[in-house]
Structure 1
């Protein structure tokens, strides 16, 4: 599913409207950028999760958009090292940190190369897991 919103790369530009779907609110511009990177992956589906939008590969979450941030599922063994990268911080549910799940603030994935690196990590890790 492709978005009709076109995001134009560049610092400080509007990322587009937030999507408000009932209780869900996420950055549709960031979602469109993520779709552009993963849209051709075989077995990809979108699902509303965690109050945002998730991209699943054969039923396993790879990445998505949570509010104005990117959410990425990565190898838990690399979790601590990735937290040191710009914009990365833990994703917690109910005050509990989920190892291997990270949020990346907008400034950490504003550049297309940074977004691609994070999305590729999520897709690569999901490919190591069995399909659901």
Structure 2
């Protein structure tokens, strides 16, 4: 697997507004962005991969652009994929990052 470098660039640019430290790591065949070693959001092929706290999963799964992260053929707990339709704007990218950051902070 490879990841779309333009999407990764958009995430990097969006992360600049957050007064927190993020690191990058190759994960799941793509690039993930971690906050205090906790995965928040990443890019796998053309999709965002986002960590989401459990109580928000059901609502997010109702969105057309969201599906379970199931590259192992089984849905991973608290992980979703978001297709390109779900992050056309910078504001949408920010929202996904914020959800991922919420998950990371919840696990600290």
Instruction: Settle same-fold status: TM greater than 0.5.
Output: yes
2:40: which partner in 1? 62
| Structure in which a larger fraction of residues adopt strand | 1
| Structure in which a larger fraction of residues adopt helix | 2
**Is the radius of gyration larger for structure 1 or structure 2?**
1
Pairing 1:51–2:29 present: yes
Q: State the alpha-carbon separation in 1 of the partners of residues 6 and 80 from structure 2.
A: 19
Consecutive unaligned residues in structure 2, runs of 5 or more: none
Between 1:85-94 and 1:53-62, the stretch displaced more is: 85-94
Q: 2:77 aligns with which of 88, 94, 99?
A: 99
Q: State the alpha-carbon separation in 2 of the partners of residues 77 and 97 from structure 1.
A: 16
Q: CA deviation at 1:124?
A: 1.8
Partner deviation per Cα, 1:40-91 (whole Å, 9 max, x = no partner):
5433110000000000100000001010000100101211110112310000
Correspondences of 1:23-42 after superposition (within 5 Å): 24-39=1-16, 41-42=19-20
Conserved 8 A contact 2:25-2:31: yes
Q: How many equivalent residue pairs?
A: 107
TM-score by length of 1: 0.75
